[in-house]
Amino acid sequence: MYSTSFPGCEMKFALGLLLIGVAWWYSRIERSVSLEESTLVGWKKQLGAPLVKFKRVALGLNANLDLIVSGTEVLQRLVGARKGDDKAVEPADHSVIESIDSLQQMFAYRMARCSAAERAVKTRRLFAEIVEAAEKVDEKQYFVGGNAALVGLTMVTEFSGTQVLLGGPVGSQLKSLLPANVTVPEACFQKNDEIHLIMEYKTGDRWGPATAPCANRFIMSHDVGNGRLSALETFFSALNDFQPNLIVLSGLHLLEEQEESFWKERIETLVKRLKEISPYIPIHLELASTANKTFLAAIAESVFPWVDSIGLNEQELLALCQASEGPHRIHDDRNTQPEIGVIADQVHWLLKRFGVRSSTRLTRVHFHSLTFHMLGIVEGTWTNSLSAVGGAARMAGRRACNVLAIDPGKVELKIPRAFLRSVEDAQLRREPIVYDPREPVSQWSRGNLKFFFSPVLVCKKPLKTVGLGDAISATGLQYSEMVMGTSRM
């Protein structure tokens, strides 16, 4: 997914020897046992039970009603209803959806790369037109939406005894979908729900010249309350009474559509409230797709030092590197999945750039993608991280296939059989990892940072793509424990 360069002779020789070793190793594995089945057994042996130290979890700042539909069916209704809009689609990236044409282009662009993305729709009228078409699709679902609400849903359904405070705009239909052990501050209730349109696509779906290499989704919204972080003050005011032992924040990306002066003021207000939180209460920030690099850089510089943990995917990590001069900023469209060594370098940079120092809280980064997860921590700050990254990766397969236990015949291992732990670090580059399904979670150190890696067993025919990142982050957090007293603020 990224353009990189390697020392030629050294790399070719090392990889040549490695491939010979990999071939010999896999020839020894029983042919009757698949890599997927061996990985499931390996997880069971490696992973302990969740610690579930976080029984009272406060989640803000976004909540909405998700409308989940087939993206191609929505576009067929929109284009079919408008004469002249059936011209050839030219895939293109857009920072905002301004027309049906820009929606087609953006959908095709992201679908061809199988990359999840989220964009705002410029006008309420255009968004209403798109939603009206979506509501006419025969197969549609309404579901709890918004990163904060989805993390909360996982917390209460997967980890018994967890109580959740949800601070975000909640309308009548969303309220009816929330479990009883989710508390919403009275000031967060409103008459109408915020709607997010989830345009899903399956492997092989086509739009214009684009064909989807895997299943994923494209998300659109035209938020009013979420887009202004209207629940911010109410949420933080409710913390004293709720007494959480974990705070999870999300939805900051929805500020992107506002004027710069407005989002700067809201970020400043957020940081002011974060500074009031005890260092003994972990704060996790879940990122989402943004297109404005200036906005993203402001989030990183202002907010990152005041949170203990960050969750993000490859699109968001790449955008951060581009916005703040991180490594491997050149995007290679030829690959749809990120390189493991490149991601390790970027996670290392992120922790070094925004963490580690005595004036920051940041000590943990949870990276998740379709095919693998990686957890980077400052040594001595979090425990049970091996189980956290493995448990979260296992949850991804469960949720995508919508099952309680993964069927090895319905998933596939898609990581390389051997991979680099770094592109930049010479020592790590000379010692690649050969994947061993008996111990699917790997770990290594780089200076005072520790890394934990787990593959994902990718669902062949996913039934659900929405909310995977939120379920993953919730699971990883519930397996983790922050070592008290390590926060350096």
CA-wise closest residue to 416 among 308, 342, 332: 342
- CB neighbours of residue 461 within 10 Å: 11
What is the Cα–Cα distance from 125 to 401, expressed in whole angstroms?
36
What is the Cα–Cα distance from 15 to 415, expressed in whole angstroms?
16
Please report, for residues 164, 189, 251, the alpha-carbon distance to residue 183 in angstroms, rounded to integers and kept in the order given.
6, 11, 19
- DSSP lists the bridge partners of residue 376 as 365, 451
Give one DSSP letter per residue of 263-330, joined into a string: HHHHHHHHHHHHTTS-TTS-EEEE------HHHHHHHHHHHGGG-SEEEE-HHHHHHHHHHTT-S---
DSSP state of 88: P
What is the Cα–Cα distance from 337 to 208, expressed in whole angstroms?
22
What is the Cα–Cα distance from 46 to 26, expressed in whole angstroms?
21
* CB neighbour list of residue 85: distance below 8 Å, 6 or more residues apart: 78, 79, 100, 101, 104
Candidates 66, 193, 345, 470; catalytic one: 470
Annotation says 308 is catalytic: no
Cβ–Cβ < 8 Å for 396, 472: yes
Name the helix (H) or strand (E) containing 154: helix 147-158
Tokens of 47: 């992973």
Name the helix (H) or strand (E) containing 427: helix 426-429
Name the helix (H) or strand (E) containing 378: strand 372-378
Please report, for residues 58, 176, 479, 481, the alpha-carbon distance to residue 186 in angstroms, rounded to integers and kept in the order given.
15, 15, 31, 31
> Where in the sequence numbering do the catalytic residues fall?
470
